[in-house]
Structure 1
Amino acid sequence: MSQALEKALSGEELKPPDIEELLELNLWDLGIAAGELTRRLFNGVVTFIPNLILNYTNVCTIACSFCAFYRPPRHPEAYTMSVDYAVKLVTEVDSRFGIRQVLVQGGINPELGIEYYEELFKTLKAKLPHVAIHGLSPIEVDYLARKHRMSYREVLERLKAAGMDTLAGGGGEILVDEVRRIIAPHKISAETWLRVMEIAHGLGIMSNATMMYGHVESKAHWAEHLYRIISLQRRTHGFLSFTAWNFEPGNSELTNKVPYPLTSATLLRVVAVARLVFKGELPNIQSSWLTNGLDTAQLALKFGANDFGGTLYEERVIPATGLSKPVFTRDYVINMIRSLGYKPAERDNWYRVLKLYD
Structure 2
Amino acid sequence: MPQAWGPIVERAIYEDRLSPRDIEELFRADLWELGAAAEYLTRKYFGNVITFIPNMILNYTNVCTIACRFCAFYRPPNHPEAYTLSVEEAIRRIMNMNNRLGIKQVLIQGGINPELSIEYYEELFKALKAKLPHVAIHGLSPIEVDYLARKHRMSYGEVLDRLRGAGMDTLAGGGGEILVDRVRKVIAPHKIDTDTWLNIMETAHKMGIMSNATMMYGHVETMSDWAEHLYRIIELQRRTHGFLSFTAWNFEPGNSELTRDVPYPLTSATLLRVVAVARLVFKNELPNIQSSWLTNGLEVAQLALKFGANDFGGTLYEERVIPATGLKMPVLTRDAVIDLIKGLGLIPAERDNWYKVIKVYN
TM-score, structure 2 normalization: 0.98
Say if 2:267 is the partner of 1:263: yes
Paired AA for residue 220 in structure 1: S
CA contact (8 A) 1:4 1:14 kept: no
Paired AA for residue 105 in structure 2: Q
Paired AA for residue 278 in structure 2: A
2:153 maps to which of 131, 149, 163: 149
1:91 maps to which of 90, 95, 101: 95
Paired AA for residue 148 in structure 2: L
Distance 2:161 2:11 in 1: 40
1:332 is displaced (CA, Å) by 1.1
What is the CA RMSD across the aligned residues, in angstroms? 0.6
**What corresponds to 1:139 in structure 2?**
143
Paired AA for residue 40 in structure 2: E
2:173 maps to which of 140, 154, 169: 169
**What corresponds to 1:306 in structure 2?**
310
Distance 1:2 1:30 in 2: 10
Residues 31-46 of structure 1: matches in 2 within 5 Å? 31-46=35-50
Distance 1:290 1:10 in 2: 32
Distance 2:176 2:259 in 1: 19
1:294 maps to which of 280, 295, 298: 298
1:143 is displaced (CA, Å) by 0.1
Distance 2:216 2:78 in 1: 29
Paired AA for residue 300 in structure 2: T
1:3 is displaced (CA, Å) by 3.0
SS in 1 for 2:36: helix
SS in 1 for 2:112: coil
Report Cα offsets for 1:62-103 as digits up to 9, x if no partner: 000000000000000000000000000000000000000000
1:9 is displaced (CA, Å) by 1.1
Paired AA for residue 238 in structure 1: G
1:11 is displaced (CA, Å) by 3.0
**What corresponds to 1:318 in structure 2?**
322
Among all aligned residue pairs of Structure 1 and Structure 2, give the percentage whose two residues are the same amino acid: 76
Distance 2:62 2:114 in 1: 12
CA contact (8 A) 1:7 1:13 kept: no
Residues 114-129 of structure 1: matches in 2 within 5 Å? 114-129=118-133
1:230 maps to which of 222, 227, 234: 234
Segments of 4+ moved more than 6 angstroms: none
Distance 2:297 2:339 in 1: 17
TM-score, structure 1 normalization: 0.99
Say if 2:289 is the partner of 1:285: yes
Say if 2:77 is the partner of 1:73: yes
1:7 is displaced (CA, Å) by 1.5
**What corresponds to 2:213 in structure 1?**
209
**What corresponds to 1:344 in structure 2?**
348
1:12 is displaced (CA, Å) by 2.7
Give unpaired runs (5+ residues) of structure 2: none
**What corresponds to 1:192 in structure 2?**
196
**What corresponds to 1:24 in structure 2?**
28
**What corresponds to 1:251 in structure 2?**
255
Distance 2:31 2:61 in 1: 40
Paired AA for residue 44 in structure 1: N
Paired AA for residue 267 in structure 1: L
1:2 is displaced (CA, Å) by 3.5
**What corresponds to 2:65 in structure 1?**
61
**What corresponds to 2:279 in structure 1?**
275
The number of residues matched between the two structures is 358
